[in-house]
A and B are shown apart, each in its own frame.
Chain A
Amino acid sequence: MWGWVFVLPALTYFAVFSFYPIFNAFWLSLHTKNPLSLRPPRFVGLRNYLDLLDSATFWNSWKATGLFTLGTAIPLVVLSLLLATIIVSRLNFQRFFQLAFYAPAVIPSVVAAAVWLLLLDPRGVANQWVNFVLGLSGVDHKWLANPEMVRFSTTVVYLWEKLGFFTIIFIAGLGGIPQSVKEAAHVDGAGGWQLYRYVTLPLLKPTTLLVSVMAMIFCMRTFATQYLFTQAGAPRESINVVTLSIYTTGIRDLQLGLANAMSIVLLLVMLVLSLLQFRLSGRGES
Chain B
Amino acid sequence: MLNRFIRVLALMLVAAALVGGSAIAQTEIVYWTHEDPNRTALEEELIARFEADYPQYKVVRVTNPTDQMAQLILTAFAANRGPDIFNMDIPNEYPYIVNGRVAPVNPAAAGYIDEQSIYDAYLPGTLDPVTYEGELYGLPLEVTNWSIYLNMNVFRDAGLDPLTDYPKTWEQLMDVAEKLTLRDGEIITRRGFDFRYPYYLNFIPSMAAQLGGKLIGDDGKSAIVGDEAWLRVLQYFKDWGPNGKNLGSPTYKAARSIFNFDNNDIGMMESGQYQAARIHNDNPSFLPGEGWMVIPFPQWEDAVADVAEAYYGHYWMVNAQASKEKQQAAWTLLGYFASHADEFFERVAVLQPTQELLNSDMFKNAPYSDVFMSDLAKAPVIYYDENSPQVLQVLKDSIEAVMLQGKEPADVLKTMREGVERALRGEY
Contact = CB atoms under 8 A, between A and B. Distances in A.
A34 B390 CA distance: 14
A51 B185 CA distance: 47
A54 to B, nearest CB: 9
A57 B184 CA distance: 38
Interface in A20-54: 34-38, 51-52
A122 B188 contact: yes
Nearest to B73: A36
Contacts of B189: 123
B393 to A, nearest CB: 7
B43 interface: no
A255 interface: yes
Contacts of B108: none
A123 B386 CA distance: 39
B187 A123 contact: yes
A260 to B, nearest CB: 13
Contacts of A254: 74, 95, 386
Given A121-B252, A121-B253, A147-B405, A36 B428 contact: no
Interface string B221-253: 000000000000000000000100000011111
Given A36-B77, A36-B99, A252 B249 contact: no
B95 A122 contact: no
B385 interface: no
Contacts of A144: 251
Given A36-B74, A144-B251, A248-B393, A255 B428 contact: yes
Interface residues of A, number: 38
A253 to B, nearest CB: 6
Interface in B99-124: 99-101
B252 A253 contact: no
Given A36-B99, A36-B101, A145-B404, A234 B251 contact: yes
Contacts of B386: 254
B187 A253 contact: no
Contacts of A142: 242, 251, 404
Given A36-B95, A142-B242, A57 B428 contact: yes
Q: Is the interface of A mostly helix, strand, loop or mixed?
A: loop
Nearest to B77: A36
B71 A36 contact: no
B404 A252 contact: no
Interface in B246-267: 249-253
Given A139-B186, A235-B400, A237-B397, A253 B428 contact: yes
A38 B91 CA distance: 20
B197 A233 contact: yes
Interface in A205-249: 231-237, 248-249
B401 interface: yes
B95 A145 contact: no
A251 interface: yes
A140 interface: yes
B6 interface: no
B67 interface: yes
A127 interface: yes
Given A233-B197, A248-B393, A253-B390, A145 B251 contact: yes
Given A122-B187, A138-B184, A138-B187, A231 B428 contact: no
Contacts of A123: 187-189
A18 interface: no
Contacts of B390: 252-253
A235 B184 contact: no
Contact of B242 (A140, A232, A236): A140
Contacts of B380: none
A130 to B, nearest CB: 12
Contacts of B250: 145, 232-234
A137 interface: yes
B428 A55 contact: yes
Contact of B78 (A35, A55, A145): A35
Contacts of A140: 185-187, 242
B170 interface: no
A258 interface: yes
A12 interface: no
Contacts of B185: 137-140
B88 to A, nearest CB: 13
Contact of B428 (A122, A146, A147, A258): A258
B212 interface: no
Contacts of A52: 428
Contacts of A231: 67
Contacts of B336: none
A235 B249 contact: no
A52 to B, nearest CB: 8
B96 A36 contact: yes
Given A121-B253, A144-B251, A251-B71, A236 B397 contact: yes
Interface string B53-71: 0000000000000010011
Interface of B: 67, 70-71, 74-75, 77-78, 95-96, 99-101, 183-189, 197-198, 242, 249-253, 386, 389-390, 393, 396-397, 400-401, 404-405, 428
14 contacts: A34-B99, A121-B251, A138-B183, A139-B186, A142-B242, A144-B251, A145-B251, A145-B404, A233-B249, A234-B250, A236-B400, A237-B401, A249-B428, A258-B428
Question: Considering the complex of A and B, which 10 residue pairs feature the smallest CB-CB distances, nearest first?
Answer: A138-B185, A233-B250, A35-B78, A140-B186, A144-B251, A36-B99, A235-B400, A233-B251, A138-B184, A145-B251
Interface of A: 34-38, 51-52, 55, 57-58, 121-123, 127, 137-140, 142, 144-147, 231-237, 248-249, 251-255, 258
Given A34-B99, A236-B397, 5 more contacts: A36-B101, A122-B251, A140-B187, A236-B396, A251-B75
